Amino acid sequence: MLDARSLLVYCTTNQALRCAPIADRPHGGLVVAPHQGDERGLLETAAYLRGRARFGAPLLLDAARYAGPDRLPASAPFNPRWLRRQRELGLPVLTDSGYVDAGDERGLAGILHRTMAIPDAVAVLPLHPAWLRDRLHLNVLTGHLRAAAVPVALVLEARADPFALDGCVPGLLAVLGCGVPVLLLRCDLSSLGALCHGAVAAAVGTVAALRHLAPREADGVRPPSTIFRPTMSYRRISAIQRAKRSRPDPRLWSCDCPVCAGRDLDWMAGLGDREREVPAFEHAAAVLFALRDELLGDGRPLPRAARDWAARCAGAAFRERQLGWTVTPMLRHWREAGPNPVDLRLAS
């Protein structure tokens, strides 16, 4: 089962074998979704990871029936075979829920009530962002969560980072205060904020399309980006390269992670987009796991972790301004949601 405060890697089946060694670590784990809707291939990959590959960290499967142009609505029934196969593989049982659109209280309640009838199941809740941003939606959501009292795994819809939207961070904190175990799927750096505020686990996507739930009408594939640790934000390699030219301080750009091995982070600029994708994620994962251990290692109390996270967000926003970058809204929202935010404004 999941360790508390676990940071997971979210990938698709075709990426799973490469991601498994990265995720197989204390307080780590892997969430795998089907590649191009191939549920059979997903289940076979999970069996291989648990068997011959001896993957020892928590392994979760996400049917992702809520994603894509043909996504299912929240009213769609669960597939008994999907639930049974997860249990047979000895995995946590995640429901194959459909998408919960804004105002679809009946669909939300249906997912939670059906999950209550499944022993030890986790209700996957793929949500329109209004469920966190709008006060009435949030009151309905938290009321149903308290009444159902089942673990939930949230997936948030947005064109880019949902936590860049006003209201999503406070809404998530309200959900985390409901007294039910909460997982966060398809996320980016906000995974760390969620863990610092009490989430059981949070999963970071390998590519931009897996770091949130894209709307049906979303644009196509985006160029690879990676985490620039000083600003705690995802940036395209080309943007990092341009910023380095205007501020060539080696202490700012060099990275000692196993992927970069002391090189300046823009070394990936010499690779094509397809070649860049793997090292960009491997670097990002190394940064994220390091931050997770710094924030939450050695059993640090959550109030202290939450304050440290807010302070780091404030400092990262300050460095973004120094570099002439637009401040990442996610940093501002987490800073403002932190304990005693007034104390942090000098760094903003």
Task: Render pLDDT for 238-275 as a digit per residue (tens, 0 to 9).
Answer: 999 999 998 888 788 999 999 999 999 999 998 887 88
Which residue's entry shows tokens 């931009």? 208
Q: Which pLDDT score is estimated for 246?
A: 87
In this prediction, residue 340 carries a pLDDT of: 63
The residue behind tokens 């990938």 is 11
End-to-end CA distance of the chain: 39
Alpha-carbon distance 233 to 225, whole Å?
10
Distances (CA, A) of 73 to 9, 145, 328: 26, 19, 32
Helix runs in 249-328, H state only: 250-253, 273-296, 302-322
3-state SS of the chain: helix, strand, coil percent to 5? 50, 15, 35
Sheet holding 59-61, edge to edge: 59-61, 30-33, 6-12, 201-205, 182-187, 152-156, 121-127, 93-94
Distance CA 215, CA 210 (A): 12
C-alpha to C-alpha distance for 14 and 274, rounded to whole angstroms: 14
Positions in the chain short of pLDDT 70: 1, 218-221, 340-348
